[in-house]
Chain A
Amino acid sequence: MNRYPIWKYTIIVIALVVGFLYTLPNFFGEAPAVQVSSAKVTIKVDSGTKARVEEVLKSAGIEPDFVTLDNTSVKARFGNTETQLKAKDAIQKALIPDPANASYIVALNLVARSPTWLTALHAFPMYLGLDLRGGVHFMLQVDMQAALAKKAESLAGDIRTSLREKNIRHSGINRNGQTIEIRFRDSQALAAAKAVLQDQFTDLQSVDVPDGSEYKLTASIKPEAARRVQDQSLKQNITTLHNRINELGVAEPVIQQQGLDRIVVQLPGVQDTAKAKDILGRTATLEVRMVDESTEARAAESGAAAVPFGAERYLERTGQPVIVKKQVILTGENLTDAQPGFDSQTQEAVVNLTLDAKGARIFRDVTRENVGKRMAILLFEKGKGEVVTAPVIRSEIGGGRVQISGRMTTMEANDTALLLRAGSLAAPMEIIEETTIGPSLGAENIAKGFNSVTYGFAAVAVFMCIYYVLFGMFSSISLAVNLLLLVAVLSMLQATLTLPGMAAMALVLGMAIDSNVLINERVREELRNGASAQAAINAGYDRAWATILDSNVTTLIAGLALLAFGSGPVRGFAVVHCLGILTSMFSGVFFSRGLVNLWYGRQNKLKSLSIGTVWRPEPEAVVTPN
């Protein structure tokens, strides 16, 4: 009656082993490490980088514990902070010859001290939230109205150009908020314009109304197009933020979209909020200038002569110097979009730029006068310029659609487009939430959370063991298993553990004991009613199960609601709460029954259970014991 088949024990053993393995990394603590990641979109961290880091360390005579390569970075772990700092200097010197133009970020980080075989199993310690490790958290709200207005502005320019090409006469095109108003004197022009809008501007929907003696056509961005614009703006802002945060040299920055128009930025370990904010809010500028192709400039390019008057020397991303005239033709403001693509004839990888109306006009004039010459597109950040690309002008370019082609792989085209777009924010952003947590507070919070769980657990375990004796011991072991599994699941999922999360852990242990109390009370009750020991165990577990299920479901409903609607600290609480309830069902019922079965199941002539006092009401008449 109280025996588990082998497979049930197997499940228990497997769960324990897996739980133990994945909990294990949390005990090893963290070791100092140096992390190398890419500072530029165009530079990839790969096995080559890893080999270089290894080589550098070897030549510097530093022995790392190991060097690993994950998706985005190379990490080298060291025994102590001293070697860590030495290694950082060595790597920095070797990988970043020019600190003003760094291709890599070399940052100090902490990695788990767990042995390599555990890391190979993808067993990592729990991911600690900012409140536990210190750092900065920002929530930024993207001004979508501004993004839409910007889009409308660029569309208005495009409409102007198209109407001119088609020779449709209008008496004015204006952007009014996010709508575009076009006025016409006669109805033919209106009809023709409507046809153009329908053909070429599928993102717009339009309505026309007579306005005095004139006709007014009001075009607005379609909702689905607006959604796309918002989505792109958000993505672009995230990319830009990535580029900027790279400069801070943060080991593991988190930059995530939240909701439709928000971005969360978390910078663990960063204390200098002012600098972080400065970097987040900075605007990069893009400039289009002509390359100086005079003989003096040629000479200056190779370093043989001084840079001529009215020109400046910049580096291309390949490191090749380019002498560029100081006069700015266009700025990033005139660039509305940059996308990678393919040339329809040559099948070459190209980058397609879209300019707004003003930009298109200037660009047409400049290109007409400079066919055969080179122009340079520069990206300025922190007052430091870099030539993104310097193509040759092949012909006059009108209409604001520019194609950059030649000697590019698809990858390079992607990167260039990204750089051109990422230079600036698609829409302004505002910090709507900000939290800074000092490192000492983080460590204190860990200690507080840990103490709460430990002392609470100890108190409950002691009480259970006293009150229910052996069954209480089983319950306490189950509770410990619950904690083990919960930590293992959290480590496996790499869910962020916060202080409210640790509180949830304590709370869930306090609630999980409920299952065992229910079972133990039921078993006692069965014994009180005269059931045999084995029958009491069986009935106790069976009867209690329905109740445990019901009560856990209601608790789970509350947990899920918190998960769905909660944000920040509440979510951290809810994740642990929900997972804890699930693991408690396994440990409190399935596992504890396994223990009881293992202990009592084989004893056929079992007389009594060690479950504390089973009190039976005495008969009404008082009987004195003798």
Chain B
Amino acid sequence: MEFFKIRRDIPFMRHALVFNLVSLVTFLAAVFFLFHRGLHLSVEFTGGTLMEVTYAQAADLNGVRNAVATLGLKDVQVQNFGTARDVLIRLPVQKGVSSAQQSEQVMTALKVVDPSAAMRRTEFVGPQVGDELATDGLKALASVVIGIMLYLAIRFEWKFAVAAIIANLHDVIIILGFFAFFQWEFSLPVLAAVLAVLGYSVNESVVIFDRIRENFRRYRKMNTVQIIDSSITSTISRTIITHGCTQLMVLSMLLFGGATLHYFALALTIGILFGIYSSVFVAAAIAMWLGIQREDLIKGGAKKEGDPNDPNAGATV
């Protein structure tokens, strides 16, 4: 079986400007939604109490709301979680009431209304932990960016490092934009997914860059644009198949992983789709705008390829 019967190199770079504009627009939209709507942060970041309660029959959300309201707690959110029988209750941090008392009070109130209510999970996070998690998340993001840039700069060249990071950070921002736009819950596993996607889609760009380097060595007559086109064309089948396989796994998580892994898998899905787009259309284009050329990559290689019979080989002055 072969999905990709490509006769000639596809001129990806001919429309580089258009693709970059599309990226820019999506990026700006994502940034706009991030600022305009903000992320719907989970309890882990904001602090507060989260309770998952299960009922014997489909739960009556209004009943639950009223029961909780009798306790005089403010800003309580009640929603279904996974199935109609499961209810998720979020309580913000309340001054002067310990988490233990809070969740127990709520449970007793719920049992009064419907004795079949059973606690499945409670989670309490103090406000100080939330702040820390946010800073740690940013630190992790920063170290991933710096680590990857350093590696690419050493292994390839700074232009590639910059191109790959810009392309992939744009993915990250777009994922966050989606979460902001749909107000999906942004939790710790989602953060992990976002960072994993960053590493993963950089490796996408790396595969293309690797090919660009190889083709620069091999085809001395092609110009930069042709080299990039040819490199992307010859790696496109691998790109699609690999991402397809990863997506199969992620899809399986989305289908079978339940509510806990739902947003995690969703973040990965968006990340993978945009990862393909950004590696193929954005990263290489940025590298092109930055002006990569043959000499950048094969400085060291050119000397070694000299004539082995050259009497001056290895002589240094």
Q: A residues touching B (Cβ–Cβ < 8 Å)? A: 131, 139, 141, 273-274, 277, 430-438, 440-441, 444-445, 448-449, 451-453, 455-457, 459-460, 463-464, 466-467, 499-500, 503-504, 506-507, 509-511, 513-514, 517-518, 521, 525, 543, 546-547, 550-562, 564-570, 573-574, 577, 612-615, 617
Contact = CB atoms under 8 A, between A and B. Distances in A.
B206 A554 contact: yes
Interface string B275-308: 0000000000000000000000000000000000
Given A503-B253, A558-B144, A574 B192 contact: yes
Contacts of A546: 210
A471 to B, nearest CB: 12
Main secondary structure of the interface of B (DSSP, over half): helix
Contact of A432 (B129, B136, B155, B188): B129
Contacts of A615: 2, 5
B191 interface: yes
Contacts of A438: 118-121
A513 B133 contact: no
B199 interface: yes
Contact of A274 (B100, B118, B143): B100
B264 interface: yes
A556 B155 contact: no
Nearest to A616: B5
Contact of B125 (A432, A565, A577, A613): A432
Contact of A562 (B140, B204, B248, B252): B140
A441 B120 contact: yes
B147 A273 contact: no
Nearest to A434: B124
17 contacts: A141-B126, A432-B125, A433-B125, A435-B122, A452-B252, A464-B245, A499-B261, A506-B250, A507-B268, A511-B200, A514-B242, A557-B151, A558-B148, A565-B137, A577-B196, A614-B2, A615-B5
Contact of A612 (B2, B118, B120, B260): B2
A433 B126 contact: yes
B256 A451 contact: yes
Interface in B197-218: 198-200, 202-204, 206-207, 210-211, 214
B237 interface: yes
Main secondary structure of the interface of A (DSSP, over half): helix
Contacts of B119: 436, 438
The 3 closest A-B pairs by CB, nearest first: A558-B199, A510-B249, A551-B203
Contacts of A547: 206-207, 210-211
A513 to B, nearest CB: 5
B249 A506 contact: yes
B126 A568 contact: no
A452 B246 contact: no
B189 A553 contact: no
B251 interface: yes
Contacts of A504: 192, 196
B5 to A, nearest CB: 5
Contact of A569 (B100, B140, B189, B252): B189
Contacts of B251: 456, 459
Contacts of B198: 558
B191 A570 contact: yes
B246 A569 contact: no
Contacts of A565: 136-137, 139-140, 143
Given A466-B1, A566-B140, A513 B245 contact: yes
B300 to A, nearest CB: 15
B238 interface: yes
B76 interface: no
Contacts of A525: 234
A614 B98 CA distance: 67
Given A503-B257, A518-B238, A510 B100 contact: no
A554 B139 contact: no
Contacts, number: 242
A562 B202 CA distance: 16
A556 B252 contact: no
B206 A550 contact: yes
Contacts of B256: 448, 451-452, 455
Contacts of A574: 192
B155 to A, nearest CB: 6
A457 B246 CA distance: 10
B121 A441 contact: yes
B313 interface: no
A559 to B, nearest CB: 7
Given A510-B246, A559-B196, A613-B2, A564 B238 contact: no
A447 to B, nearest CB: 9
B241 interface: yes
B79 interface: no
Given A459-B252, A460-B249, A566-B140, 15 more contacts: A277-B100, A448-B256, A503-B261, A513-B245, A514-B203, A550-B155, A551-B203, A554-B151, A558-B199, A559-B199, A560-B147, A561-B141, A566-B136, A567-B136, A569-B192
Given A552-B203, A613-B1, A444 B129 contact: no
B196 A436 contact: no
Contacts of B143: 561, 564-565
Given A434-B99, A448-B261, A517-B241, A564 B140 contact: yes
A573 B100 contact: no
A579 to B, nearest CB: 14
Residue in A455, A467, A509, A550 whose Cβ sees the most chain B Cβ within 10 Å:
A550
Contacts of A453: 252
A456 to B, nearest CB: 3
A605 to B, nearest CB: 26
A612 B238 contact: no
Interface in B107-156: 118-126, 128-129, 133, 136-137, 139-141, 143-144, 147-148, 151-152, 155
Contacts of B255: 452, 455
A456 B121 contact: no
Contacts of A131: 260
Nearest to A277: B100
Contacts of A452: 249, 252-253, 255-257, 261
B199 A431 contact: no
Contacts of A441: 52, 120-121
Contacts of B129: 139, 432-433
B195 interface: yes
Contacts of A431: 98-100, 124, 126
Nearest to B268: A507
B11 interface: no
Residue in A430, A452, A466 whose Cβ sees the most chain B Cβ within 10 Å:
A452
B250 A463 contact: no
B220 interface: no
B7 interface: yes
Contact of B250 (A141, A432, A510, A612): A510
A510 B245 CA distance: 6
B245 A434 contact: no
Contact of B249 (A141, A507, A573, A617): A507
